[in-house]
Amino acid sequence: MFDQVKDSYAELGVDVEKALEVMASTPISLHCWQGDDVGGFEGGDGELGSGLAVTGNFPGKARSIAELQTDLEKVLSLLPGNHRLNLHAIYGDFGGEKVDRDEIEVKHFQGWIDWCKAQGIGMDFNPSCFSHPKADDGFTLSSPDAGTRDFWIEHCKRSRAIGAEMGKQLGSPCVTNIWVPDGLKDLPADRLGFRKNLSRSLDTVLSEKLDPSHNIDAVECKLFGIGSESYVVGSHEFYMGYAMKNQTALCLDAGHFHPTEGIADKISSVLLYVPELLLHVSRGVRWDSDHVVLFDDQTQAIMQELVRCDALSRTHIGLDFFDASINRIGAWVIGTRAAQKSLLLALLEPSEKMHAAEQAGDFTTRLMLHEVNKAMPWSVVWNEFCARNNTPSDWQAMSAIKDYEASVLSGRS
């Protein structure tokens, strides 16, 4: 069956083996916070704040680093390809001590680095500028209070240094992404003032030049959130300009825009002006939210644009969702596989014929190729990719998820 499908794609000018090679070399960065509902391991109640919320109480959330690592190992075993870990600063190993955000060091994350090394995967990192008393008023790096700004500046500086050490030890650049929740529920009197503070704070955070083979800086925009419905300091326009001026990577989160606004069309514009792109593949529903990624039109459009722009070498693909209403392992596996399948579908497009038709002004042929491609038996290629990576098919993965739920997750209170 697979050989026949290969021949069918070859008639359209598509090299299936090349597509599978690209799939194998394109990692997805798995977000650790899906496993414990963005709680982290700083101690205390781990209560979310700063406009973040996780709904649901499905049994079995990770309560320790050991449990989270065990869960991640299970997820990795069910995913074809080689992937990465995306870690937030609140997930350090603090040994039961109170370590404030402006005091974190590499030693608090060495266990995670060693774990990634044992798994043979790379690592990405994020300062955690939320769920903290110094973020309770809605402002961090853009705060009117100099002391508050200095606190978060130091946290972000230390996060960059930790990210660089992760990249150095693992031999793969760590993408250190800065997102802050700063904003107002109602209309501000001085939009510009907050943005000037944010710009100056970021300049200070990024003032030390780090080896790009160890660390890649990214900044992340947002349209609105809970408690910042009227004004977000770090808007798309703010960070687009900042990333262009300072030549950092720009993070586009699919859940950070209006629900009817897709990020796929932004990719080609952004790539003209910034060196690299970070994607947080998510699914917004109605309001700013992070639902499990699906094999849907928006996810497919994102991956299509990356392939059509020949941008995979300049793009870092990560996931960002948190759902406690379903099995958390299942959420990870379903969401990651959806992103991977969308990428595979994009790689299997008859792109050369489509481009040739477009350049010739033959838009009828271009449209027909779009439609023909939709009916191609891409799922046979996906199953072949899973088989070559010794991972189960989608439905077989569900059986493994249920077994893990019964044997491991059900034992957690």
Catalytic residue among 42, 71, 276, 290: 290
CA atoms of 127 and 135, how far apart (whole Å)? 13
Known catalytic residue at 253: yes
Report the run of H or E that residue 39 belongs to, with start and end: none
Q: Under DSSP, is residue 9 helix (H, G, I), strand (E, B) or coil? A: helix
Known catalytic residue at 132: no
Catalytic residue among 42, 253, 323, 349: 253
Asked whether 115 and 143 are in contact (CB, 8 A), the reply is: no
Catalytic residue among 155, 222, 266, 341: 222
Q: What is the residue-wise DSSP string for 241-294?
A: HHHHHHT-EEEEETTSS-TT--SHHHHHHHHTTSS-EEEEE-EEESEEEEEPP-
CA atoms of 196 and 142, how far apart (whole Å)? 8
Catalytic residue among 256, 266, 316, 353: 256
Known catalytic residue at 256: yes
Residue 73: other Cβ atoms inside 10 A: 12
Known catalytic residue at 136: no
Residue 168 backbone phi and psi in degrees, to 5:
-65, -50
Catalytic residue among 37, 124, 220, 349: 220
Catalytic residue among 36, 37, 182, 288: 288
Catalytic residue among 88, 214, 266, 280: 280
Catalytic residue among 33, 152, 179, 382: 179
Token pair listed for 97: 């001590």
Catalytic residues: 179, 220, 222, 253, 256, 280, 288, 290, 320
